[in-house]
Structure 1
Amino acid sequence: MKFVTPEQASAETVWDVVIIGSGFGSLFFLKRYLQKRPNDRILILERGRYNSSEWQLENRANSDIPPEQTYEHGEGSGKPWDFTIGLGGSTNCWWGLTPRMHPSDFKVGTQTGLGSDWPIDYDDLVPYWQELERIMLIAGSSEIGRVYPGTEEYPQPAHQLTSADEIMVQKGNGNHFPMPTAKLSRSVGARGRCCSSAKCNLCPVGAKFTAFNAMDETLSHPSVSIGIGCEVTHLDVEGGNVSAVHFKNAGREYSADCDLCVLGANAIHSPFIFQRSGIAGHGVGRYLGEKMLADVEVLLGGLDHFDGGTDSTAINLSIVEEGRSAEFANSIYLVKNNLMHGFRLEPGRWRQTLPITLYVEDVFDYENGVFDDGSDKPVVRFKDWSDYAMAGLDHAISRIPEIFSPLPIEGVRFLGIKPTLGHIQGSLRMGSSIEDSVVDAGMISHAVRNLCVVGTSIFPTPASANPTLSAAALSYRAVDQMLG
């Protein structure tokens, strides 16, 4: 990798592309862009530093910058937001789960009267999901194609299911599948197979796809320069185009001129840059949110658990397949193969417990968002989970005895809502015009036409499953829309 000093970044006459941030959205935009324009001069400005995989394991942390130090809570707001600041962004901290969005996720507004429709459809992303599943060496079963049309044979076989999963696949309602994941089930090169130690944010064996074990060719491309410790503050906009990116390093201020600006900080810091730059659009900084994460423990009678091959062995899409309701939110079930709640205490029944994590959809509320109060940190306000999400949680829990009826269920224990899922979305949402959104279907700012926004901030709705694969696919598509 070619690291440059702030002075070197500023000295370049005009960069062809300046990319702000280096997470999934930014790196896959870069990868696709280099396929089409390999000779363009590209600068990555990363606020964090380069924390190698070895550093992360030694320090048991993905970054030396705690997320909560980079923003302020608004009055009455205390919800935490989880993200990683450093080269590679969330490729470091993610848990490698890669289900697609569901076809219905693109038409939430039409289906429920809540939220917005996406300006693109499921079929627009199918070829990109397919390509990225090959690139990331996704392990999974093509049987899930019954729910996610266009699913091809995955590059790696699915991880070993638990005994409970096997029963659900054989005797359930047909909506229980091995979890698609970017953690290897078979070793490839220096990347080992998943060790199922439930330390996926650090991944001690390198099974998980990260920027450092799978995108070195992109980061080390001769056309790419990387500035670390460079916090972008604002953009110069002249005649409807970004002309320069301003950043600071070690207390000094710098700027880099560019022809194209790609903004991929995250859903808190990207809108803050918009606000500090005076860039228009409906809801800049608004509609911030994420899915609800909740935990349930299912007590089993005579069936041992924890014999699967990875941390999250299966995904159950029963409620997604039933279709959304205007009364309660969508949700999915993730079967966990780790001791997140410990063993059962009864002698001889220690493993007769099934941890399930629920992802529950929420509605992005205009009042939840990122605000500029004139200081050097964004202020984040989040009222609470919506009644729609709470109703969805109640519905999902109530359906467990029926959906998981092939298992010998003795009881279901609700163990609470987690403070954050780490899937920060909204705040610069995609739409058809500047009257209803910030960026268009190609992720270009309605107001500034050489500014492309990547990552999950552009999601109009949170969708049913993990957003990572889709964020990467959207970046690939954005390059194709831009360059053909």
Structure 2
Amino acid sequence: MNFRAVSPSAVASDGWDVVVIGSGFGSLFFLHEYLKRHPQQRVLVLEWGSHHSRQWQLEHRKNSAIDHGSTISKDGAKDWNFNIGLGGGTNCWQGMAARMHPHDFELRSRYGVGFDWPISYDDIAEYYDAAEAIMMVAGDKEAGTVFPGAGRFPQDQHKFSATERLLKAARPDTFFAAPQAKLSTRVGNRAGCCNNGTCSLCPTGAKFYAVENMAELWGAPNLAICTGARVRRIEATGPKADAVVFESEGREFTARGELIVLGANGIHSPFILQQSEITDGGPGDYIGEKMLAFVEVFLDGMDHFDGGTATTGYELSYIDGPHRARHGAVQYWTNNSFLWGGLRLDPPHRYREVLPLGITVEDLLFKENTVVDDGGDVPTVRHAGFSDYAHKGLDFAIAQIPEVFSALPIEAIELRRILPTADQIQGSLRMGSDPETSVVDAGQVHHRLRNLLVVGTSVFPTTSWAAPSLTCAAMSLKLGTEI
């Protein structure tokens, strides 16, 4: 992958039309549209990490040379996962590309908990289509029965396992092939999914990697990239952000820009604002993510693991409904990989008679869960752990398994573990209409600094049940088109 790399000294020697902080989903999908509309503007991306090719990641068995854990301090048991490197989370994500449900944007007004979003499903529906096309998502043509307008996927769905075919026949209105940004059929040098379960280190290139799969963006003549640039603060005067101060090789440099786009992750973005003394709306507050748990369903005389990708199906019976007033929305997804569970060892010779389920549960976001600048070199994340709202949702989800999966010969059900993180940081710079309780408006523009945009999942007011990557990409495409 070729891009125009610039040195820190060259960055500081001139002004820029746009300075973008970070290069994950939010930044890259914003630039995908913005660069097409403004081919004459000079655009700079500042990335703390380095460029690591997919081959480098495979050889080193990791996505970045920077240990993400060394860049934060934790006050609480909650864990967090993210990637620092060119392409951000598009390197390490699992490829799950679900849309949110229309009612996910109306949690407070419908169910009396959480917050409403200042945008609706309809506001970003066309951009969901565009994001699915860019990432070449493989999905179920019948998805429009749950998600309005969905189903025009560029790739056919991945092959169901025998158990999933039974589930689809029994529950055609709620069980679907899970939308995946992993090819089911080869396209050029991008091969189809090999279903070995190592999605964060995809060996075939089936999964969407921004660094490999957004060639037009990286080749834009007006785009320059400075890697190894850790942003420290944003300088502002009155109602305008003027410049970005970053550190590289032990020195500080300044990049001046007419438009500043903040797209670091949901921990480091609020920390940058705090260090900049830009504290409008409480940057860092309400940080969180959904709960992720793994359950094994032991089967009586039926084999599993013959599906076409690691996560082939998802069951949507309880992603919405009155229960959300009491506990989180629930999504089940059927797992076709031994890496996250399975391979039954007792009794012998029944190795494949088990269905591993992933369960994602919506959680509420609370003000006291926050990112703090405590005077150190890295942000401190204070989080009390998953709330009762999420735990009650998980209890409900497990209790409903016999009914939801009644088409299968279930012998036993066992909760294996609740993961310490779902790798999906949300909420720390949330969007809203009130400048006292939110950082950006419905257009992702800072309430006071009107040339400062915030992109990424940090602007999400709620966690939903769905992986946030596709929604983040759709919102960023919309922003890049309209700003």
Coarse TM-score class (shorter-chain normalised): over 0.9
Report what 1:35 is aligned to: 36
Question: Partners of 2:252 and 2:84 in 1: how far apart?
Answer: 20
Report what 1:394 is aligned to: 395
Question: Partners of 1:322 and 1:372 in 2: how far apart?
Answer: 39
Report what 1:202 is aligned to: 201
Residue identity in the other structure for 1:424: I
Cα distance, 1:435 vs. partner? 1.9
Residue identity in the other structure for 2:34: Y
- Given that 1:279 and 1:447 are in contact with CA atoms closer than 8 Å, whether structure 2 keeps it comes out as no
Q: Deviations over 1:230-273 (max 9, x none)?
A: 00000110121111100000110000000000000010000001
Residue identity in the other structure for 2:341: H
Q: Deviations over 1:13-38 (max 9, x none)?
A: x1000000000100011111011101
Report what 2:287 is aligned to: 288
Question: Partners of 1:377 and 1:56 in 2: how far apart?
Answer: 25
The 3-state SS of whatever aligns with 1:476 is helix
Question: Partners of 1:326 and 1:442 in 2: how far apart?
Answer: 28
Q: Deviations over 1:137-169 (max 9, x none)?
A: 110112111111111421110000111110011
Report what 1:278 is aligned to: 277
Question: Partners of 2:428 and 2:298 in 1: how far apart?
Answer: 40
Report what 1:477 is aligned to: 478
Question: Partners of 2:323 and 2:120 in 1: how far apart?
Answer: 17
Residue identity in the other structure for 1:407: L
Question: Partners of 1:469 and 1:88 in 2: how far apart?
Answer: 15
Question: Partners of 1:230 and 1:263 in 2: how far apart?
Answer: 14
The 3-state SS of whatever aligns with 1:110 is helix
Cα distance, 1:324 vs. partner? 4.1
RMSD over aligned Cα atoms: 1.0
Residue identity in the other structure for 1:287: Y
The 3-state SS of whatever aligns with 2:324 is coil
Report what 1:330 is aligned to: 329
Report what 1:264 is aligned to: 263
Q: If the length of structure 1 is used for normalisation, what is the TM-score?
A: 0.97
Q: How does 1:276-425 map to 2 (within 5 A)?
A: 276-339=275-338, 340-345=340-345, 346-425=347-426
Question: Partners of 1:145 and 1:370 in 2: how far apart?
Answer: 38
- Given that 1:370 and 1:380 are in contact with CA atoms closer than 8 Å, whether structure 2 keeps it comes out as yes
Cα distance, 1:323 vs. partner? 4.6
Residue identity in the other structure for 1:73: K
- Given that 2:129 and 2:152 are in contact with CA atoms closer than 8 Å, whether structure 1 keeps it comes out as no
Report what 1:79 is aligned to: 78
Residue identity in the other structure for 1:389: A
> Number of paired residues?
479
Question: Partners of 1:48 and 1:134 in 2: how far apart?
Answer: 28
2:27 pairs with 1:26: yes
Q: Deviations over 1:56-90 (max 9, x none)?
A: 0110100011111001112xx13221000000000
Report what 2:443 is aligned to: 442
Question: Partners of 1:302 and 1:323 in 2: how far apart?
Answer: 37
The 3-state SS of whatever aligns with 1:142 is coil
- Given that 1:191 and 1:213 are in contact with CA atoms closer than 8 Å, whether structure 2 keeps it comes out as no
Question: Partners of 1:294 and 1:283 in 2: how far apart?
Answer: 30
Question: Partners of 2:199 and 2:324 in 1: how far apart?
Answer: 34
Q: How does 1:200-239 map to 2 (within 5 A)?
A: 200-239=199-238
Residue identity in the other structure for 2:403: E
Cα distance, 1:321 vs. partner? 4.2
- Given that 1:298 and 1:413 are in contact with CA atoms closer than 8 Å, whether structure 2 keeps it comes out as yes
Cα distance, 1:336 vs. partner? 0.4
Residue identity in the other structure for 1:377: V
Report what 1:245 is aligned to: 244
2:147 pairs with 1:145: no
Gap regions ≥5 residues in structure 2 = none
Gap regions ≥5 residues in structure 1 = none
Cα distance, 1:480 vs. partner? 2.8
Cα distance, 1:428 vs. partner? 0.3
Change (3 A) 1:178 1:423: same
Question: Partners of 2:323 and 2:208 in 1: how far apart?
Answer: 32
Question: Partners of 1:471 and 1:417 in 2: how far apart?
Answer: 25
Residue identity in the other structure for 1:226: I
